[in-house]
Structure formats: structure tokens, C-alpha cells
Amino acid sequence: MTLEKPIRFILNDAEVSTKLPVGMVTLDFLRLHQRLTGTKEGCREGDCGACLVLLGELDVDAMRYHPVNSCLLPVGELAGKHLMTIEGLNQKDLNVIQQAIVDEGATQCGYCTPGIVVALTGFLLNAQTLEEKEAIAALDGNLCRCTGYQSIKRAARLVCRKLSEQLLPLENDCDRRLRRLVELKILPSYLLSIPDRLRQLRPAPGDSPSASSRPPVIVAGGTDLFVQRPEEMREANLDLLSARQDLKGIRIDGNRCHIGAATSVEEMKNSPLLQELFPRLGDYFKLISSTPIRNRATVGGNIVNASPIGDLTIFFLALDATITLLDGHQRRELPLRSFFQGYKLLDKAENELLAEISFPLLKKSFVFNFEKVCKRLHLDIASVNSAMQLQLENGRIRRAHLSAGGVAPIPLYLSRTAEFLVGKEINLHTATEAAAIAQTEISPISDVRGSARYKRLLLRQLIISHFSACFPQQMNEEVRR
């Protein structure tokens, strides 16, 4: 659809106004309409990272930039923001990232390379540390078919080493970090003018792009929507939840933790609050998609998508989470586990919007674990995933919650298995019995993620893995085939 009012934003160093469809993906806007061809098309489904761009938002006074997949980013999301492509990062001389890639031979055919440069720039803008491990983690959304990644890792290491003197200690303040990166000529100087220019661009309240009378499609992160229904989305009128600050944020209220539905997965991953609640949060979230996808994907989107294999859904099912649905001012709360009625069928009226998810805080007597196995350990959809939460009392299980994905038409809460666990001691026998009972609750099918018998076996193993991860001492000596 065509807008009545144009979308205005800054593309690299230039202000842009466009009336192109809001549902057109940014990759097409860049390549077809701007002929900025440094951003490459590799898959159009967020798996390869050849199309990475930096999306900058003015957050109070500072710009925050995140690498995102332009193949899944609707043009509508650009309004009032700063979009940076490889062309916008280029300066007269190669910067330290580009030079490191050249020096280490970390580019062969060159097709994935602009995406790698963008990802490493995102790393320098957002890193908590300058450790090589973190730099490599920032490349978890980039595929390269030529190098075997060794030279890319060497280049990342070189960047960390070269900058460790100049950039450390890392500025936590976004604005100061950005200025430092400009000083070091890693970023071009025009970036310093962006906040002021964006302020001038900002539409007056009520001046947001309004569209035709067609009912809008609600878009959270769009990371699945734009994979599954790209043609339809291009024509659609979009209701972009990213603008809804009221749907974002992580807070603790009494004995519950509340997470706004439009909170991104990366925000959750980096949340000190959640990190304190889940000491192994980083390990779990490392298994969930990639940095650029996590920058866009939201917790609400993962749940409403109703995929039987949604990682966060499985995570929250075992936290005995509750969701809040909004219809205008009408609020309705229900347990997450009652939300899924059948394959992609939700207990949700058409006008209801998932606003929030909340779960009771875990106390000291609680243990929690999340497991996921897929063909490729990272950036892959699970063959089976599962989460378990146990409350312990005097060495026995007082309360249990267990979930499993990929084994039924819906993300499954294993209620019979959870019931069985109550009152049991922690030992291998309990774990294998629970795994056996779980077999009676599931109905996996054979598909590209694995045969039915594999998924059955895998869930059994993941339930034992929960116990092994939560109670390593009790289990390790005991666990046998």
C-alpha cells in the first residue's frame, strides 16, 4: 500500500523521504530503490547475515545502534531512525575492522564480508567486554561459506587486541562510546550530527504515518512474519509494536517479574535483572537465534506465533507464566499454558493484543533449566526443546513445571509428568520415570527437524539432562543407560 504521508529517516548521511510501501523490506529498498548494493541478499530469512545493517534509534539523548537483518526489516520501521549500511560506514581509509579482515585474509569471495563488517561494528558499539569470545558471539548471525571462519575469528581477535588499549575501559555511556569510536576513525564523523538531525525529523505527535482503511497487521519483531508471508506483508498496512514503549521493559513487582510483550530477546538476554534470576541465562539465550535476530524478535511475538517449537514459549511455560491480553482498556489474564488450543490456534480474540508476560519469582529453593537440541547447535530451530522448574523441600520435589517443544502440535506443558514429580526424590530413577511418563503426553511427527522416534528419544534425554544440569553431583555418578 502507498502512504498518504511519506516516511522520513536518515540513510547514512542523507535525509530520505519515501512513499514506498511500509511493508517492503529494507533490503529491497536499499538494493532496488537506492542501488546501495553493498548490502547483499543471501537468503531473505535472516539466516545468513549478508544483508546486515545498523539501525540507530534516538534514546533520550544518545543514539543506540543495533545490527539487524534488512531482509526482515520493514521500511515502516525506519521512520524517524538512522539506517546505516556498509556504504555509510566507509571512510577514506579502511577502518580497523576492515583492515583486520584484509590483513587476516578473512574475506574470500567477499559476498558475506559487508555483513561481517557491520556485525563487528555492532559489536564495538554494544560490547560489554572486548574479549574475543564476545566478538565471535557478535558474528553468530553471519554465514560464510568460503573461509571456514578461522580467518574471521583471527580478524575479530585482531580487532579486540588493537583496540584494547584505545577503547578500554569500555564506555558504558552510549554517546561517549560513539564519540570515542568516531575519534578512532572506526565510525565516520557525520554520526555526531545524527541526533540533532533526527530531532528535526521527528514527526509531531499524531503525525505518524497513517495508512489506508485496511485493518493493520500487527508486527512485533517480524522475524518470522517476513519469512513466512513476505508478499502479503509488502502490501499490508502495518501496526508496528516497536513504537509502543508501554509494551516494553522488564520489571519486578512484588514477587512477580513482568516483561512487556514487545521487549526484544536481546534486551532480555542483556537484562541484569533476568541475569540475576537465571545465572545461566547467557547459555540459554545463546541457543536462541542470532544477535541480529534477537535485536528484533520479541517475547510476545515468539508466544503469539504459536510455533510448537518457540524457544521462549517453552522457557516461560516452565516458569508457570501468566500472560496479559489487552483489548482497548479491557485486560484479561490467563496462564500461558492455557493459551495454546491447537496447532497455531490461540485463546485470543481478534482485537486482543498480547501485552505482557509475567512469572512468579524463583526463590532459593527453586531450580530451573532450559535445553535445546537442533541439527546445528546455534541459529537453528530446535528438534526438541524443553524447560524444567522444580521447587525443592527437604530433598524432595515440592512443585514441578515441565515443558517441551517439537513434540506436539502446540508448545506443550507436560502436566502429567509435572504431577508425577511432586514428592519425588532427586535421583536418576525419578528422572527416567518422568521421561517415561512424558512419552505418554507427546505426539511428535517426523519432519525436517527429525523423525518421530528421534524426538521421543531426545525428549527423554533432555529430561534427564535437566536433572543432570540442575543436580550434577547427585546425577553424574548415577546416570547410566
Partner 1 sequence: MKHVDAALHVRGESQFMDDIHEPCGLLHAAVYSSPIAHGRIESLNTDRARKASGVAAIFTAKDIPGANQIGNIILDEPLLADNEVHFVGQPIAIVVAENSDLARAAAKLIKCDFAELDVFLDAREACAKGQLIAPPRTFSLGDVDIAWPKCDVIVEGRADSGGQEHIYLETQGAMALPMENGGLKIVSATQSPSSVQRIIAGVLGLPMHKVEVEVPRLGGGFGGKEDQATAWAAMLALAAFRLQKPVKISLRRKEDICMTGKRHPYSSDFKIGVTHDGRILAYEVVFYQNAGAAADLSTAILERTLFHTTSSYFIPNVKATAYSCRTNLPPNTAFRGFGAPQAMFVMESAIFKAAEKMGMDPSVIQKKNLLQEGDQFPYGMQVRNCRSQRCWEEAEERYDFAKIGKAYTQFNAQNRWQKKGFAVMPVCFGISFTSTHLNQASALVHVYTDGSVNVSTAAVEMGQGVKTKIHEVAARTLSISPSRIKVENTNTSRVANMSPTAASTGADMNGQATKIACENILSRLRAVAGGKLQTEQWDAIEIKDEIVHFRGRKTDIGWNELITLAYFARVNLSAQAHYATPNIYFDRKIEKGSPFAYHVYGTGIVEVTLDCLRGTYQIDAVKIVHDCGTSLNELVDRGQVEGAVVQGLGWVTIEELLHDQSGRLLTDTLTTYKVPDIYFAPAEIQVHFLENADNRPGLLNSKAIGEPPLMYGIGAYFALVKAIKAFRADAPIPFSAPLTPEKVLLALHGESQDLNGQKGEDVFR
- Give residues with Cβ within 8 angstroms of 110, minimum separation 6: none
Give the C-alpha separation, 68 to 296, whole Å: 7
* Interface stretch with partner 1, choices 295-303, 312-320, 399-407, 445-453 (CB under 8 A): 445-453
* Interface stretch with partner 1, choices 172-180, 205-213, 320-328, 439-447 (CB under 8 A): 439-447
Indicate the DSSP class of residue 214.
S
Per rule CB under 8 A, is residue 282 in the interface with partner 1?
Answer: no
Per rule CB under 8 A, is residue 153 in the interface with partner 1?
Answer: yes
Sign of CA dihedral 340, 341, 347, 348: positive
**Residue 12, by phi and psi: left (phi above 0), alpha (psi -120 to 50) or beta?**
left
Per rule CB under 8 A, is residue 375 in the interface with partner 1?
Answer: yes
Residue 256: strand pairing partners: 253, 360
Considering only residues 180, 468, 470, 474, which one is a binding residue for partner 1 as defined by CB under 8 A?
Answer: 468
- Binding-residue total with partner 1 (CB under 8 A): 85
**Residues in the chain, total:** 481
* Binders of partner 1 in range 219-238 (CB under 8 A): 227, 231, 234
Pick between residue 50 and residue 247 the one whose CB is nearest to partner 1. Answer: 50
CB of 109 to partner 1, least distance (A): 3
Per rule CB under 8 A, is residue 304 in the interface with partner 1?
Answer: no
Pick between residue 331 and residue 453 the one whose CB is nearest to partner 1. Answer: 453
Q: Are 70 and 51 in contact (CB under 8 A)?
A: yes
Considering only residues 22, 325, 381, 437, which one is a binding residue for partner 1 as defined by CB under 8 A?
Answer: 381
* Interface stretch with partner 1, choices 199-207, 321-329, 403-411, 464-472 (CB under 8 A): 464-472
CB of 340 to partner 1, least distance (A): 22
Per rule CB under 8 A, is residue 432 in the interface with partner 1?
Answer: no
Give the C-alpha separation, 371 to 241, whole Å: 29
Considering only residues 26, 70, 142, 223, which one is a binding residue for partner 1 as defined by CB under 8 A?
Answer: 142
* Interface stretch with partner 1, choices 145-153, 207-215, 344-352, 396-404 (CB under 8 A): 145-153
* Binders of partner 1 in range 33-72 (CB under 8 A): 35, 37-45, 47-48, 50
Specify the pairing of strand 7-11 against strand 82-84. parallel
Q: Are 122 and 67 in contact (CB under 8 A)?
A: yes
Pick between residue 79 and residue 156 the one whose CB is nearest to partner 1. Answer: 156
Considering only residues 12, 34, 69, 98, which one is a binding residue for partner 1 as defined by CB under 8 A?
Answer: 98
Pick between residue 313 and residue 358 the one whose CB is nearest to partner 1. Answer: 313
Indicate the DSSP class of residue 70.
G
What are the backbone angles phi and psi of residue 224, rounded to the nearest 5°?
-105, -40
- Give residues with Cβ within 8 angstroms of 71, minimum separation 6: 25, 26, 27, 41, 43, 44, 45, 46, 51, 226
Q: How many CB atoms are closer than 10 A to CB 450?
A: 21
Largest CA distance in the chain: 69
Give the C-alpha separation, 294 to 280, whole Å: 17
Considering only residues 367, 464, 471, 474, which one is a binding residue for partner 1 as defined by CB under 8 A?
Answer: 464
